[in-house]
Amino acid sequence: MNLPQPPHLTHFDADGQAHMVDVGDKAETRRVAVASGRILMQPATFAMVRDGSAKKGDVIGIARIAAIQGSKRTSELIPLCHPIPLTRVAAEFDLDEPASAVRCTVTAETVGRTGVEMEALTAVSVALLTIYDMCKAVDRGMRIEDVQLMEKRGGKSGHWVAPGQSSAGG
């Protein structure tokens, strides 16, 4: 009886030692990743963010810059990530007034030998942490949740969309 082989973790060698994956033989292709997450807050905090009246300034504008900066620093933060040349990073913010929440969605792109999933996820995380940092003086109970990969395109594994999501196109 031939049972399917379980997937293996690529960041470990045959002896179980951590290593940086060799991508030297992989083809350079256009690679795109979309990640998202949200931060929930008190309604008064949400109003400050929405209205741009937070004491530290334009929370969403600063979070957008933080997302881009975070994506570019991913390989410095995640030990086995390759430094990659990003060709595009876009951070979008959606305000959900009924939930008093801000959703951040980041699209990261490159032409290279490895994907940009970690860059997109890091960008979302840094953006949401920046919102927390800028608003913590008035709301320490904010909660970051649902940080996840929504879609990836390119490379050997092709196109993947998170269950329950529709493709972002592109």
Alpha-carbon distance of 167 to 170, in angstroms, equals 9
pTM of the model: 0.86
Q: For residues 126 and 66, is the Cβ–Cβ distance under 8 A?
A: yes
Alpha-carbon distance of 158 to 42, in angstroms, equals 40
| Given 22, 94, 133, 139, the catalytic residue | 133
Percent of the chain with pLDDT over 90: 68
SS3 4: coil
Terminal-residue alpha carbon distance, the chain: 42
Strands across the sheet containing 143-153: 86-96, 101-112, 29-40, 143-153, 160-161
Q: Give the tens place of pLDDT for each residue, 53-87.
A: 877 789 999 999 999 999 999 999 998 888 999 99
Q: Give the tens place of pLDDT for each residue, 34-60.
A: 999 999 999 999 999 999 887 778 999
Summary mean pLDDT of the chain: 88
96 is known as an active-site residue: no
Q: For residues 38 and 148, is the Cβ–Cβ distance under 8 A?
A: no
Q: Give the tens place of pLDDT for each residue, 83-139.
A: 999 999 999 999 999 999 999 999 999 998 888 999 999 999 999 999 999 999 999
DSSP bridge pairs for 48: none
pLDDT of 170 higher than 80: no
CB atoms within 10 A of CB 51: 8
Res 168: pLDDT: 59
Q: Which helix (H) or strand (E) holds 153?
A: strand 143-153
Question: 59 CB contacts (<8 Å, ≥6 apart)?
Answer: 48, 49, 52, 130, 131, 134, 135
More confident residue, 68 or 15: 68
More confident residue, 155 or 89: 89
